[in-house]
Amino acid sequence: MFAIFDLLFLQIQILNWMKNLVTFMLISFAVVSGLSGQSSVYNSFPCNSTVGNVDTTGALDRFNALIQADSANADIYYQRAVIKFNRLDFGGAISDFDQSIEIDSGNTNAYLWRARAEAMNGNFNEAYSDCNIAVSQNLIDTTFYIRALIRSAMYDLTGAISDLNKAIDLNPVYFDAYLLRGSVREEMKNYSEAVIDYDKAIELKPDCDLLYQFRAHSKGALGDFSGAIADYSEALMKNEKNSEAYLGRGWAKTRIKDHAGAIRDLSAGLLLNPKDENAYLLRGNEKYYTADYRGAKEDYTKALGLNSDKALTWMMRGLCEIELNETGNACADFEKANALGDEDAAAGLNLYCR
């Protein structure tokens, strides 16, 4: 029972990170004007992003005035669309990109930006169509990378890998492409290849804590728990406020039966992020292992306060209550676990409650 949940904990982390990474990169990636040869990009990864830190109100007012003076200028609509995108006004951005493309259909950047805006609005087919146009206009690293982002968001992971391979062939030091490819490979359970991509990303940005955390995910999935602990520790050396690194290291320590160390790390992570139901459940399991049944019950109760639909949590709290001689409470929890589909709950009911 515990082993299955421990593996699920890692898979939940990997899936959440891939989804968050794709969304972040869709928002923050910025193409520099000019697409001759390899394109330049602003680094979009959280370690050095400035997204949301720029006041665009004055710029938007200026472009509104420019459009009133020259409504046939494609570049003005394009620039205003970028500003609206950065203000998270994706619908307004799409409208302006439409106007820009209607006037000048040869601006590859406009298709790339509109693709991202469409994706953020959930219109993935339209986004993918725009990316195809951009690729047909310019076979460069950026166009393949943006299409890989869209494909990742659509869960076309094989297609995303294909585009990322092309982007990296064109630009062998393309940090964001290595990072995204590693994340996609993790989701595809190609953990060994994901580690190789994260190795390259770390080579390019060795001071970024999150890269070590990502690599630790894959090492943990490969059963290299010592390697995972080392990477989570490196992440924490670079950023002691990284709650996910504490939680991940705590998970890895559960796998080598370092119960005390796991509880310490999970506790540190929960101080930084007290809304992680799975961390409470995992810490509760470790306390149960060490016969701290009262403490385990408290953790399971906190987990249930965040999500009352997880059968395993009800089952585990019931087992704690058996150890605490709270049979009535335990039977009620077993009933709830059974109703939610826990396969062991019926045995608990038969053994303790009949």
**pLDDT of 55 over the 80 cut:** no
DSSP codes joined into one string, 53-92: -S--HHHHHHHHHHHHH-TT-HHHHHHHHHHHHHTT-HHH
**pLDDT of 123 over the 90 cut:** yes
Domain membership of residue 251 (yes or no) is no
Name the β-bridge partners of 206: none
Domain membership of residue 329 (yes or no) is yes
Residue 41: φ, ψ to 5°? -135, 150
pLDDT of residue 60: 83
Structural domain of residue 313, as residue ranges? 287-354
Pairing between strand 41-42 and 30-31? antiparallel
Structure tokens at 303: 């987990």
More confident residue, 41 or 287: 287
Domain membership of residue 252 (yes or no) is no
Structure tokens at 32: 């520099």
Domain membership of residue 320 (yes or no) is yes
pLDDT of residue 20: 63
Domain membership of residue 4 (yes or no) is no
Domain membership of residue 119 (yes or no) is no
Residue 104: φ, ψ to 5°? -140, 100
More confident residue, 64 or 128: 128
Q: For residues 352 and 354, what is the distance between their CA atoms, to the nearest angstrom? A: 6
- The 10s digit of each residue's pLDDT in 237-289 is 999 999 999 999 999 999 999 999 999 999 999 999 999 998 999 999 999 99
Structure tokens at 58: 């004055």
Distances (CA, A) of 68 to 3, 61, 77: 64, 11, 11
Q: For residues 8 and 87, what is the distance between their CA atoms, to the nearest angstrom? A: 36
- The 10s digit of each residue's pLDDT in 289-342 is 999 999 999 999 999 999 999 999 999 999 999 999 999 999 999 999 999 999
**pLDDT of 30 over the 80 cut:** no
Instruction: Report helix angle 345-352 to 327-339, nearest 10.
Output: 150
- Count of CB atoms within 10 A of residue 237's CB? 12
Domain membership of residue 311 (yes or no) is yes
37-41 long-range contacts (CB < 8 A, ≥24 apart) are: 37/140, 38/140, 38/141, 38/170, 38/171, 39/140, 39/141, 39/142, 41/142, 41/176
pTM for the whole thing?
Answer: 0.83
Burial group, residue 182, by CB count within 10 angstroms (0-12, 13-18, 19+): buried
**pLDDT of 41 over the 60 cut:** no
User: Contact 244/236 with Cβ under 8 angstroms?
Assistant: no
User: Could you give the percent of the chain with pLDDT greater than 70?
Assistant: 84
CATH number at residue 319: 1.25.40.10
Q: For residues 4 and 349, what is the distance between their CA atoms, to the nearest angstrom? A: 22
H or E stretch covering 42:
strand 41-42
pLDDT of residue 69: 87
User: Contact 323/295 with Cβ under 8 angstroms?
Assistant: no
Mean per-residue pLDDT over the chain, rounded: 87
Question: Lowest mean pLDDT: which of 48-52, 105-109, 124-128, 222-226?
Answer: 48-52
Report, as an integer, the average pLDDT of 119-143.
95
User: Could you give the percent of the chain with pLDDT greater than 90?
Assistant: 75
Contacts of 152 (CB under 8 A, 6+ apart): 18, 22, 160, 180, 183, 184
**pLDDT of 52 over the 50 cut:** no
Q: For residues 29 and 21, what is the distance between their CA atoms, to the nearest angstrom? A: 11
Name the β-bridge partners of 31: 41
Report, as an integer, the average pLDDT of 22-39.
47
Number of domains in the chain: 1
**pLDDT of 5 over the 90 cut:** no
Name the β-bridge partners of 273: none
Domain membership of residue 157 (yes or no) is no
